[in-house]
Structure 1
Amino acid sequence: MRGIAASIAWRERRQPPRTPPAPIAQPQTPEDFQPLSPGNFANPYAYYELLRNDHPVYRMPGHDYYCISRYDDICSLAKNTTAYSSKIMEILVSGKPKDPNTVGDSPVEKMGNWGIIPVDVLALQDPPLHAAERKIGHSGFNARFVKSLEPEVRKLCHEMMDELLPQGEIEFVQDFAWRLPMRLIIRLLGFPEGDYEQIKTWCMEGIRSLSGTAGKAELVRNGAGSAAFMRYLWRHYLIAKQRPQDNFTGHLIRESADPDSVMTDQRAIAILLQLLIAGSDSSASSMGSAIRILAQRPELEHRLREDYSQINNFIEEVFRTEAAFQGHFRVSTCETTLHDTTIPAGARVFLMWASGNRDERYYDNPEQFDMDRPKLKKHLTFGHGVHACIGRELARMEIRIVIEQLLQRTKQFSITGDAPFEASIFARTLLRLPMRFELAEQPPVETQPAPSTSDTAVTNGCPFH
């Protein structure tokens, strides 16, 4: 069983060292930024700006996908589910879209029906079936339920900080940011908490497979891990099916037994997979980014210490400036034209949430971190349209509680080493955040929590779309 630290170390040595080309001082074209280079992944925002201004529909050289970088264009394409489909499992598995002339199930669809790979569901599904599946997700993870989780999240956060903060120095991402949301979702699904290390390793490999930079050997390795993950989910699901519990897995089991429901066992497994992969990574990365920004910006840390009610605004600006998912893919179902560029049918289209979040056409001074800006919650970090993430309120709550308790328990904190991000076009995953903490002299006193910013009309769960 591979641990998380071992998985990260393997990633960082997966390719032999090589001397990267010298950076171009004043890049004029997208290629000048070396889009798939570690340097550009570490700080991609100047590259995104060039795309928005000069190449709003950009085909990545050597790759069959088109990058959409402007806020309004991203919103328009995200809402056009007829021309831009979310059903991309065929592409993810086979590398090409489904042949529209194929009669019956494609080989990939059959693999999904047989339980070998996840079927298209929620994030990878289109209306009208998506609406029915999403309704089931809403009924299991509604706003009232998410609110009811707050005492448990506070208790878990308190226990973990009791264990870690007295050490003085910790690796915040591995030791805390990944563990808290993952331990919570494992409890909610009814899986053994002792399986955390293995589940998280599988989740990391799943995200890595979508990075756009993984080599063939790594994809094969991760594919074997994904198959093992699917077997694990099926094993525990079938055990739970014998005596469904009062948790989300039990909710899916009861839905799949209803002949009038669209839910099936295969779709239930796919939802569980998305809950674990998307939820753990996005919450952990956003949590790590929030603490990293506070450690780098003492004036922001002081402002939040003076007024905890500002934490919600701070979190929204973290979401805008450091989107955990840089974008999501769609596949064009017909030939379309945008900004004089023809996108052929069957092409992958990458909706660049993180670029839209910094679009000068929508935001004033988008590169500035401004907790007081208007339209704070209009960012695209949780997607847009029918696929807007139903887990955003759980992510907000988890991060808010962590910041509150960390400020209560410390005088100050600082970063003591490198804080690298995953080399990925897809996810801005913070891999490490080594930190030093100076504890408060008095035992922490639980303060009144910051008012929730939940939209009462929205129901939520762990982040999946």
Structure 2
Amino acid sequence: MAHVSMGDVTNAVNRGVVEELGSVFGLEPEALRCPYPHFERARAERPVVFVPDIECWLVTRYADIVQVARDPHTFSSLVPTGPVLARQQLEGVMALLTDEPELGAGARPSAGTRVLINANPPEHGRQRRLVNRAFTPPKVKVLEPRIREVAHELVDAFVAEGEAEIVSGYAVPLPLTIIAECLGVADDDLPKFKRWSDDLTGLIGNHSMSREQTRSLLLSQREFFLYFGERVAERRAEPRQDLISDLVEAEIDEVPLTDDEILGMLSQFLVAGNETTTKLIASAVRILLEQPDRAASLRQDPSGIPAFVEEVLRLEPPVQGLYRTATTDTEVGGVPIKAGEHLLLMYAAGNRDAERFAAPDCVDPDRPGLMSHLSFGHGEHFCVGSALARAEGRIAIEVLLERLADLRPAGGVDLARLEYEPSYVLHGIKELRVAVTPAG
């Protein structure tokens, strides 16, 4: 009988898990729709496993993700896109600029500027203390009437038609309008604002970077930073009641933010302030379509909507995970990690860890620890805009259920075959057509 070593068994298990995960990181449509069974196998067999496709360790267990997120000194945030995309972007940009150097012209933050999501202590803590003031619950509360007003205006635009495409007609323009108004962007500039957002996020979690995508990214970055560079200069001369003025005037220990830091923050607010909430709203609508009894119950008792939104966040996190880099030799979940190696904290996997959440694949608004999911991150890098995202998600569903007596998939729509954006990091439905019946 041939001898089988534990090393052979371990390698075989690793291969099986990695091969299955390949469908997610290879952006296969079915895996993008529902990556969770693939994460479940990894969590059960190899909760910390090296995945060559993304050149990093995938971390899928709740406790391990929390361990890493709580230790920003050992696990750096300087490479938030992961090593593969970072290298591809550098190579693609350099190749394009060699042929078209004019694309590099224009104002933009210097390459060494680190802001919020890709900043480490102590810079990150200083920046957070400054921007936290802009997204406090009282400030978000002031925005709620306007959020509700925009939601009603959007429903007005489609309610009489009997059908709507809920992503482009509701989930996109609601948070986009609010964050644009917070930044002082004129209504006429909203289409441009959305294009910048799409270009800046189109490569996240997608390693098939084309030359044309690189060009669009550079053009949008240049336009964005020139546009907001002018706005920052205007606010320094004449402050207004908006977020840019808050950033321009903010100081900690008499040290203000630099223009590079402000521009970097504004680009992150653009993305985080609309893309993620768009995905949350679309996922919430999809679940209500799948569970009409729940929609009817929430229509009768809207007080349950905030807890429902938390469960949508847990089950379908708009940001499925983020990267970290080990700064020293360490270990995670008993697995040795060398200095310089990368990890992908897969929040979407941790959110369905049965060791932390009972019946993790079910919607249960009454579960203990309802808000302990990882969809806004954890620790020092917990999402600064979480209060705004929660308010927008809650109000979006409140208004839909208030205005619509019935909400169902439009003819020909198969909820089990919806197309998702080509990304293993950003989890978003591309299109969702619904049939609607006005209330009253």
Separation in structure 2 between the aligned mates of residue 262 and residue 186 of structure 1, nearest angstrom: 23
Matched, 1:66 2:61: no
Cα distance in 2 for partners of 1:53, 1:94 equals 30
Paired residue for 1:249? Answer: 244
The Cα of 1:314 is off from its aligned counterpart by 0.8
Higher helix proportion (structure 1 or 2) = 2
SS in 2 for 1:195: helix
The match for 2:369 is: 375
Q: Distance in 2 between matches of 1:259 and 1:432?
A: 47
- For residues 264 and 62 of structure 2, the distance between their equivalents in structure 1, rounded to whole angstroms, comes to 30
Cα pair distance change 1:73/1:407, threshold 3 Å: same
- Whether the 8 Å contact between 2:29 and 2:419 is mirrored in structure 1 is no
CA-CA distance at 1:340 after TM superposition = 4.6
Give the TM-score of the pair, scaled to structure 2: 0.85
Q: How far apart are residue 141 of structure 1 and its match?
A: 2.4
In the TM superposition, 1:379-418 aligns within 5 A as 379-416=373-410, 417=413
SS in 2 for 1:95: helix
What is the letter of the counterpart of residue 432 of structure 2?
L
Asked whether 1:95 is paired with 2:83, we answer no
Match of 1:30 among 11, 18, 30: 18
Hey, what does 1:454 align to over in structure 2?
none
State the AA in 1 paired with 2:283: S
CA 1:94/1:318 → structure 2, altered by over 3 Å: closer, same or farther? closer
Q: Are 2:338 and 1:344 equivalent residues in the alignment? A: yes
- Alignment of 1:269 with 2:263, yes or no, is yes
Q: Distance in 2 between matches of 1:214 and 1:204?
A: 16
Moved more, 169-178 or 221-230: 221-230
Partner of 1:425: 424
Rounded to whole Å, the distance in 2 between the matches of 1:362 and 1:259 is: 40
**Contact 2:81/2:322 (CA < 8 Å) preserved in 1?**
no
Q: Does the 8 A contact of 1:45 with 1:355 survive in 2?
A: yes
C-alpha spacing 1:153/1:368, structure 2 compared with 1 (3 Å): same
CA separation in 2, counterparts of 1:348 and 1:29? 18
| Preserved CA contact (<8 Å) 2:249 2:256 | no
Matched, 1:45 2:40: no
Residue identity in the other structure for 2:430: L
Runs of 4+ in 1 over 6 A off after TM superposition: 89-93, 111-114
Cα 1:430–1:90 change in 2 (3 A) is closer
The amino acid that maps onto 2:271 is I
CA contact (8 A) 1:117 1:230 kept: no
Counterpart residue number, 2:230:
235
Quick one: percent identity of the two aligned structures?
A: 31
Q: Is the 8 A contact 2:109 2:264 kept in 1?
A: no
Q: 8 Å contact 2:62–2:356 — kept in the other structure?
A: yes
Structure 1 residues 220 and 341, CA gap change in structure 2 (3 angstroms): same
Q: Give 1:118 deviation, angstroms.
A: 8.2
Mark the runs of 5 or more structure 1 residues left unpaired by the alignment. 1-26, 97-110, 443-465
CA distance in 2, matches of 1:218, 1:329: 26
Distance of 1:337 and 1:196 partners within structure 2: 46
Aligned-CA RMSD value: 2.5
The whole-number CA distance in structure 2 between the counterparts of 1:86 and 1:410 is: 43
For residues 345 and 213 of structure 2, the distance between their equivalents in structure 1, rounded to whole angstroms, comes to: 23
Provide the aligned length of Structure 1 versus Structure 2: 401
Over 3 Å counting, the alpha-carbon distance change for 1:400 and 1:118 in structure 2 is: farther
Q: TM-score, normalised by structure 1?
A: 0.81
State the one-letter code of the partner of 1:69: T
Give me the whole-angstrom Cα distance separating, in 1, the residues matched to 2:107 and 2:148.
40
Distance 1:426 1:91 in 2: 10
Q: CA deviation at 1:159?
A: 1.8
Deviations, residues 344-375 of structure 1 (Å, cap 9, x unaligned): 22222111111000001111111112122111
